[in-house]
Amino acid sequence: MGDVAVGARSGHDGEEHRGHPVAANVPVPNGAMTSENDAAGDDTPQDGQKPGTDGVGAGRTAGQQKKPRSFWKELPILVVIALVLALLIKTFLVQAFSIPSASMQNTLQVGDRVLVDKLTPWFGSQPERGEVVVFHDPDDWLAGEPAPTPNPVQQVLSWIGLMPSANEKDLIKRVIGVGGDTVQCKGSGPLLVNGKALNEPYVYPGNTPCTDDEIGGQFKVTVPKGYIWVMGDHRQNSRDSRYNQSDKHHGMVPVKDVVGRAIVKAWPINRWGTLPIPDTFDQPGIGQQTSASAALTVAPEGVAVAAALPVVVWRRRRTDRLQSKAEQKTTAGSR
């Protein structure tokens, strides 16, 4: 692209050939064929023209001047583009988080990496019952927990979103109640939401849905608008909303502090899988998910395809452009 197509000259323009007039109506021997361009194969320069100065030579020179950049020259540009895209994706679309504790076993194991959807909250999506969400520490829930010290490589990876930042005090739990819900634990369970008993197969084996203690395991709360009530799947090993009822939010998590919903277990590979909402939260009477929010929950997959499409188109066009240049050079060289 960008090369000028120059028509080849036929070499037959009706002029006399070095003092010899071109005869008209010259008989053609039997079996011989002729055409208007029989003289085109004559490479003898005409009109004092020097070899290599015709349009074909100019086109060939132009093609040689537009050689594609080498891979090593393009590599720094590609790295910069990749870093910028990673930063944008981390900020607005998806971010990776590492699981530091056992509070969400067996749904999530220590060391698992999850991908968190940060896009749908930009469109007004609210946390739903049953979702696994990442949120900022509402009021010193992590007090006394040691903060990891990342090495320089981990700091770079966290900056571009490939690893979570050690400076961000984030937690991951399951949403049990949303604004307006009444959540209750009596004895060892089951856990009640708006009077409906939850069937919770995701609760850690050997645990009871409710903890029979007097320091937070027994409760009945109504979740205010703009807040959520969260609990870990490892019920007997999770310092969640139940055990933070003395903080300024009474154990609730402000929706504004929610980073996003964990949608995929991405690492290690043998534990890859999605994190869907359990069916028990769809039972009649507990509250129905609106069609608008249901549509938003599938947005990350659509955005991933939309984000990948321009890259695929760019690569295809670039390949076609390089092939076109190669064909033009081959054609010019055969003239």
Q: Which residues are catalytic?
A: 103, 173
Please enumerate in sequence order all residues whose Cβ is within 8 A of that of 241, keeping only pairs 6 or more positions apart, or say none: 173, 176, 229, 230, 231, 251, 252, 253
| Token pair 């205010």: residue | 224
Give 122's DSSP letter.
G
Rg of the chain taking only CA atoms, in angstroms: 36
**Which of 102, 59, 74 has its CA nearest to residue 232?**
102
For helices 55-65 and 299-334, give the axis angle rounded to 10 degrees: 140
Q: Which amino acid belongs to residue 218?
A: Q
| Token pair 């009596």: residue | 186
Residues in the chain: 335
What is the distance between the alpha carbons of residues 217 and 209, in angstroms, rounded to a whole number? 10
Q: Which amino acid belongs to residue 64?
A: Q
